[in-house]
């Protein structure tokens, strides 16, 4: 709770995300209640004349299974926008204090009484607290979906009621049960570390916090273009002839896992987190250079 009190951007990000999550559930329940209403109306009509064509297809609506409901909540309803701007809700609270201290000279006073590396460790550790925002949101989402679904991971009733073409995760993930949410959340954690590292790197040369956030977002988009279009599309699809390779390297795919594999997305997330951490260490390795940049 102390971190929420000292850094209001943490509280703001969490509040907005919780609001979007609740609104997504509201949208789902509104759709479900409309389906129930249509079912009841059709049932009444069929009592009068069962020969009507709609009577043959009239099925009582049920709640989706856990993973199908999660897919609906996070990739179709209001939380759909997380696929593009979810990183912002991590970047802003992560770099807010670090940027403020870096640019107002506060950190130079800290260096008078503590080691430079120790100071960076403390500040980076604080920034990395934001890496739990999206994973905890997903965890809460999974728990709520599990409750709403009637504590079911069984996808077959959903298919029987709504048809096999209902939007959801690949069938191989639906059969994984609780393991899939665990790995899903772990991958969000890796990617959140990646976002934070980009944000901390951007803080070094950008005096204005809004510019630092914008530069971080541009770097993120640029990394996705590099991975998806250049590496996935040009190299693997164009030169090596590997079909749908661009989807495999699409960073945004961590939400829907479309035409990719869970193991690869986990590896990609780890590589992005590890690689960007190396870049972060390189960026802040020279104490004197960092001090000079902060005085510009």
Q: Is the pLDDT of residue 165 over 80?
A: no
For the chain, the structural domain boundaries read 2-294
Retrieve residue 160's tokens: 């029987």
Give the least confident one: 23-27, 138-142, 242-246. Answer: 242-246
pLDDT for residue 2? 58
- Please tell me the distance from the alpha carbon of residue 138 to that of residue 255, in angstroms, as a whole number: 10
DSSP string, 55-115: HHT-----PPPHHHHHHHHHHTSGGGGHHHHTTHHHHHHHHHHHHHHHHSSHHHHHTTTS-
- Please tell me the distance from the alpha carbon of residue 270 to that of residue 136, in angstroms, as a whole number: 18
Helices (H) and strands (E) in the chain, counts: 16, 0
Specify the higher pLDDT residue, 269 or 167. Answer: 269
Share of residues in the chain with pLDDT > 90 (%): 63
Specify the higher pLDDT residue, 294 or 267. Answer: 267
Average pLDDT, the chain: 90
What mean pLDDT comes out for the span 94-104?
Answer: 90
- Please tell me the distance from the alpha carbon of residue 11 to that of residue 15, in angstroms, as a whole number: 6
Query: Binning pLDDT at 50, 70 and 90, where does residue 171 land?
Result: confident
Cβ(156)–Cβ(64) below 8 Å: no
Q: Kindly state the DSSP code that residue 141 receives in the 8-state scheme.
A: H
Query: What backbone phi and psi angles, to 5 degrees, belong to 207?
Result: -70, -35
Cβ(68)–Cβ(168) below 8 Å: yes
């Amino acid at each position: 709770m102390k971190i929420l009190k000292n850094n209001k951007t943490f509280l703001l990000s969490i509040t907005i995300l919780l609001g979007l999550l609740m609104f997504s559930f509201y949208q789902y329940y509104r759709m479900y209640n409309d389906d129930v209403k249509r079912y009841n109306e059709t049932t009444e009509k069929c009592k009068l004349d069962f020969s009507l064509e709609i009577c043959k297809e009239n099925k009582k609506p049920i709640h989706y299974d856990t993973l199908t409901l999660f897919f609906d909540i996070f990739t179709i309803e209001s939380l759909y926008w997380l696929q593009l701007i979810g990183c912002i809700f991590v970047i802003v609270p992560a770099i807010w204090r670090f940027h403020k201290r870096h640019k107002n000279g506060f950190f130079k006073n800290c260096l008078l009484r503590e080691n430079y590396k120790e100071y960076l460790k403390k500040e980076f550790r604080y920034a990395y607290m934001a890496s739990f925002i999206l994973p905890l949101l997903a965890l809460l989402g999974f728990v709520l979906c599990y409750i709403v679904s009637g504590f079911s991971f069984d996808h077959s009733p959903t298919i029987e009621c709504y048809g096999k073409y209902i939007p959801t995760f690949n069938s191989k993930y639906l059969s994984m049960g609780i393991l899939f949410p665990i790995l899903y959340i772990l991958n969000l954690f890796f990617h959140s570390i990646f976002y934070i590292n980009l944000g901390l790197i951007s803080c070094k040369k950008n005096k204005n916090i809004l510019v630092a956030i914008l530069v971080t977002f541009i770097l993120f988009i640029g990394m996705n273009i590099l991975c998806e279009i250049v590496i996935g599309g040009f190299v693997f699809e164009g030169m090596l002839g590997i079909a749908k390779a661009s989807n495999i390297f699409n960073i945004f795919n961590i939400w829907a896992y479309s035409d990719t594999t869970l193991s690869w997305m986990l590896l990609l997330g780890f590589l992005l987190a590890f690689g960007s951490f190396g870049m972060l260490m390189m960026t802040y390795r020279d104490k004197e250079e960092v001090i000079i940049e902060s005085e510009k």
